[in-house]
């Protein structure tokens, strides 16, 4: 392929399990950029959780937040944003209202939660670079919902809930787990397949010249559309099988391995 753009997922991919950016990954990304290949990031995170990564890596390419539903410049300016239909958002909140589920709503630039906990709340503080807003009534937010997340430590239950919610909402939403413990619901076009298409278009690069890397089910739509796809070694088996290549796990800086062993050699072919 004629490699002209590399797009990376963030959690479970670009960053380590502790959410830090490893020096081997940062160095490898910078080598790829120096070789003439732009690098961009696309993630289920809100923009606030991505801008520091772009700055740390020295990226000036657009960023795909909320699975690509929101496209922002590296300076934080929003280029485009897609929201859930208000009725679909209300229906989603009903469908995921369970005693063993924490509901998060990202809307109007803030992270709202119906309850806080000692495990996922601290994790999301780091991931989104925000403080949660405790919210007992999501109604006033329904006209501007970027993402709804059902959070649970019961992974099997969440997988079953994913299937039920996807069936109930049909074409009205994109429903996919971004982690085994996070079930994300976004607008239909807020998926990583459409997201990488939007990002590639901003740089006038055809999808056949785009390489992508990710680790979870919400990354599979971009695997299907990119010219080259790479899965992280610790990802679920179904996700690994959906990609053309598999690299190391994120705790072993697998993105750096992929750049060195798969992408940079393409430039010498």
Q: How do residues 214-234 score in pLDDT, each as one tens digit? A: 999 999 999 999 999 999 999
User: What is the predicted pLDDT for the residue at 268?
Assistant: 85
User: What is the predicted pLDDT for the residue at 1?
Assistant: 86
What's the mean pLDDT in 70-87? 95
What's the mean pLDDT in 176-197? 95
CA pair distance 14, 125, nearest whole angstrom? 18
207 pLDDT higher than 90: yes
User: What is the predicted pLDDT for the residue at 115?
Assistant: 95
């Amino acid at each position: 392929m004629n490699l002209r753009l590399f797009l990376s997922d963030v959690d479970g991919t670009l960053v380590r399990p502790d959410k830090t950016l490893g020096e081997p990954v940062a160095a490898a990304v910078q080598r790829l950029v120096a070789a003439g290949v732009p690098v961009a990031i696309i993630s289920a995170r809100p923009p606030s959780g991505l801008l520091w990564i772009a700055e740390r890596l020295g990226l000036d390419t657009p960023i795909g937040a909320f699975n690509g539903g929101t496209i922002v410049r590296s300076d934080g300016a929003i280029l485009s944003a897609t929201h859930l239909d208000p009725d679909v958002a209300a229906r989603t909140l009903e469908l995921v209202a369970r005693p063993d589920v924490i509901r998060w709503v990202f809307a109007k630039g803030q992270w709202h939660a119906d309850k806080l906990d000692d495990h996922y709340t601290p994790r999301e503080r780091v991931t989104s670079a925000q403080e949660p807003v405790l919210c007992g009534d999501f109604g006033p937010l329904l006209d501007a919902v970027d993402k709804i997340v059902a959070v649970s430590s019961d992974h099997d239950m969440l997988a079953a809930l994913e299937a039920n919610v996807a069936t109930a909402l049909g074409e009205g939403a994109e429903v996919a787990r971004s982690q085994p413990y996070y079930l994300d619901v976004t607008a239909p076009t807020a998926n990583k397949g459409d997201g990488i298409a939007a990002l590639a278009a901003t740089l006038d690069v055809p999808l056949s010249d785009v390489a992508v890397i990710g680790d979870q089910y919400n990354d599979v739509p971009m695997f299907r559309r990119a010219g080259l796809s790479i899965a992280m070694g610790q990802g679920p088996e179904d996700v690994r099988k959906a990609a053309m290549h598999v690299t190391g796990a994120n705790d072993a800086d697998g993105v750096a391995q992929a750049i060195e062993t798969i992408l940079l050699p393409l430039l010498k072919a």
